C-alpha cells in the first residue's frame, strides 16, 4: 500500500459543481459536473464503464455510470433516471450547486484489449449511458480501433437517450450508426423500426475473432442480443456486458453487490464477459 492511498479516505465525497443539466428523455436527465478543485478536475482519470457514487447529504448515496469519456478531461457527465429517494433529491439540484461525488469505481471496459479490434456497441434503454462513454472514447481515439458499429434500440423516438447526438453520427464515415425504434410515434423517424436484434442483419463482414462487443440494456435484451452474437460466432469472452446490483460502498466492503458468493460487482465488475456470466451462478 502506498502512503498516498493510506492518506485518502475513500469514503469521503469530493466537492463537485453541477455545471449543467437538462432532460434527455422523460424522467432521465443529463448532469454535467466538475470537481471544484480545477487541478483535480483535470487530473481525474477513469475508464469507460466505471461509475461514481453521488452523495446527497442527509439522503444518501447511489452509484451512477460515467457517460462522458476520459479522453475529454475536466467534466464528468451522468444520465440519471428518477426512481427513488436519492435520485429524487438529485433532480432537485440546480446549476452551480455543489454536490459530493466519490470514485471512480469498478473495473471499466478493457479498452486496451479492445484496441486494434472491431467494436460493436449494442445499447438499449439506460444502457446508452455507460456505452456512450465507450463510444466517444473509441471515436476520440479513432486510429486505435478497427470498424466501429453502434446499434441502439428504444421503444419510441422520444424515449431514445442521446437521440440528437446519435442521429448526427449517421453522417460520420468512420462509424456504422444503426438506430431503431419499436414504434414510431412521430411519423418522422428517419432510421429503422423494429427490435434492436433486427439490426444484426446489417452486420456483414464481421470477423468474429477480431471483434469485441459491448452490450448494455434492460435484462430482456441480453438474451436475444447474445443469441444473435453467438450466431455470428463472436467468442464468448469478447462479449462484454454490464450488470447492476445494489451497492452501498463501491469499494468491495459492504457486501451488498455480491454475486454467487464471491463476485463483488463493484470491484470485479460491473463489466463482465459473457463467459464470466455463464460460469457465475445467480448472475442474470
Partner 1 sequence: MRAVKLRKQDLPAFLKCVQSFGELWGPVREKDRQVLKKTDDVNQIDLTTIRTSLPFKKLLFPPRFSMFHFSGNKYTTSLEHLPNRIIFGLHPCDIHALLIMDDFFTRSFDDPYYTERRKKTAIIGFSCIPDEKCFCHATKTDTVEEGFDLFLTDLDDFFLIWVGSSLGDDMTRECPKIIDEGILPEDLKKYVEWRKYRNSQFKMDIDLTSMPEIFDLSYDSVIWEEEGEKCLSCGACTIVCPTCPCYHVYDKIEMGKIEGERMRQWDSCLFKEYSMVAEGHNFRESRAERLKLRFTHKLQAFVGEYGKPACVGCGRCIETCPVDIDIATIVRRLRGEEVKV
Ligand X SMILES: Cc1cc2nc3c(=O)[nH]c(=O)nc-3n(C[C@H](O)[C@H](O)[C@H](O)COP(=O)(O)OP(=O)(O)OC[C@H]3O[C@@H](n4cnc5c(N)ncnc54)[C@H](O)[C@@H]3O)c2cc1C
d(CA 22, CA 118): 33
What residues contact 248, with CB distance under 8 A and at least 6 apart? 61, 254, 256
Query: Can you tell me whether residue 193 is helix, strand or coil?
Result: strand
DSSP letters, 34-47, are EESSHHHHHH----
Rule CB under 6 A: choose which of 76, 80, 128, 241 binds ligand X.
Answer: 80
Applying CB under 6 A, does 252 fall inside the site for ligand FES?
yes
Q: Hey, which residues between 222 and 261 contact ligand X (CB under 6 A)?
A: 244-245, 247
Rule CB under 6 A: choose which of 249, 259, 263, 271 binds ligand FES.
Answer: 249
d(CA 96, CA 229): 44
Distances (CA, A) of 54 to 22, 24, 51, 75: 18, 19, 10, 15
- The site for partner 1 (CB under 8 A) is made up of 1, 5-6, 9-13, 15, 57-61, 83-84, 98-100, 244-246, 248-249, 251-256, 258-262, 267, 281-282
Q: Hey, which residues between 2 and 31 contact ligand X (CB under 6 A)?
A: none
d(CA 216, CA 120): 11
From ligand FES, ligand X, partner 1, none, interface partner of 64 (C-beta below 5 to 8 A by class): ligand X
Q: Tell me how far, at minimum, the Cβ of 55 lies from ligand FES, in Å.
A: 14
From ligand FES, partner 1, ligand X, none, interface partner of 1 (C-beta below 5 to 8 A by class): partner 1
Applying CB under 6 A, does 123 fall inside the site for ligand X?
no
Distances (CA, A) of 94 to 33, 55, 87, 151, 168: 11, 15, 14, 33, 29
Applying CB under 6 A, does 79 fall inside the site for ligand X?
yes
Q: What angle do CA 142, 145, 149 make, to 5 degrees?
A: 90
Applying CB under 6 A, does 271 fall inside the site for ligand FES?
no
Query: Cβ closer to ligand FES: 236 or 248?
Result: 248
Applying CB under 6 A, does 48 fall inside the site for ligand X?
no
Applying CB under 6 A, does 125 fall inside the site for ligand X?
no
Among candidate residues 131, 209, 269, the one with its CA nearest the CA of residue 277: 269
Which residues contact ligand FES (rule: CB under 6 A)?
A: 247-250, 252-257, 264-266
Amino acid at each position: 500500500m502506498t502512503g498516498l492511498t493510506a492518506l485518502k479516505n475513500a469514503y469521503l465525497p469530493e466537492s463537485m459543481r453541477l455545471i449543467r443539466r437538462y432532460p434527455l428523455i422523460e424522467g432521465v436527465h443529463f448532469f454535467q459536473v466538475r470537481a471544484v478543485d480545477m487541478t483535480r478536475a483535470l487530473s481525474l482519470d477513469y475508464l469507460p464503464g466505471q461509475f461514481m457514487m453521488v452523495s446527497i447529504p442527509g439522503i444518501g448515496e447511489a452509484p451512477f455510470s460515467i457517460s462522458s469519456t476520459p479522453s475529454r478531461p475536466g467534466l464528468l457527465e451522468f444520465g440519471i433516471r428518477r426512481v427513488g429517494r436519492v435520485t429524487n433529491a438529485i433532480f432537485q439540484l440546480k446549476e452551480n450547486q455543489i454536490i459530493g461525488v466519490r470514485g471512480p469505481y469498478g473495473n471499466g471496459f478493457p479498452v486496451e484489449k479492445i484496441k486494434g479490434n472491431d467494436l460493436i456497441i449494442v445499447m438499449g434503454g439506460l444502457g446508452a449511458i455507460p456505452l456512450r462513454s465507450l463510444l466517444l472514447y473509441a471515436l476520440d481515439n479513432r486510429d486505435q480501433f478497427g470498424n466501429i458499429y453502434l446499434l441502439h434500440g428504444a421503444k419510441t423516438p422520444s424515449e431514445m437517450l442521446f437521440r440528437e447526438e446519435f442521429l448526427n453520427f449517421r453522417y460520420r464515415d468512420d462509424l456504422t450508426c444503426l438506430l431503431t425504434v419499436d414504434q414510431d410515434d412521430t411519423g418522422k423517424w428517419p432510421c429503422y423500426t423494429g427490435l434492436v436484434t433486427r439490426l444484426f442483419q446489417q452486420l456483414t463482414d464481421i470477423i468474429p475473432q477480431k471483434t469485441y462487443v459491448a452490450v448494455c440494456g434492460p435484462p430482456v435484451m441480453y438474451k436475444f442480443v447474445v443469441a444473435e452474437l453467438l450466431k455470428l460466432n463472436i467468442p464468448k469472452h469478447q462479449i462484454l456486458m454490464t450488470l447492476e446490483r445494489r451497492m452501498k460502498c463501491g469499494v468491495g466492503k459492504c457486501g451488498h453487490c455480491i454475486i454467487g458468493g464471491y463476485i463483488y460487482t463493484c470491484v470485479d465488475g460491473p463489466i463482465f464477459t459473457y463467459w464470466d456470466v455463464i460460469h457465475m451462478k445467480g448472475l442474470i
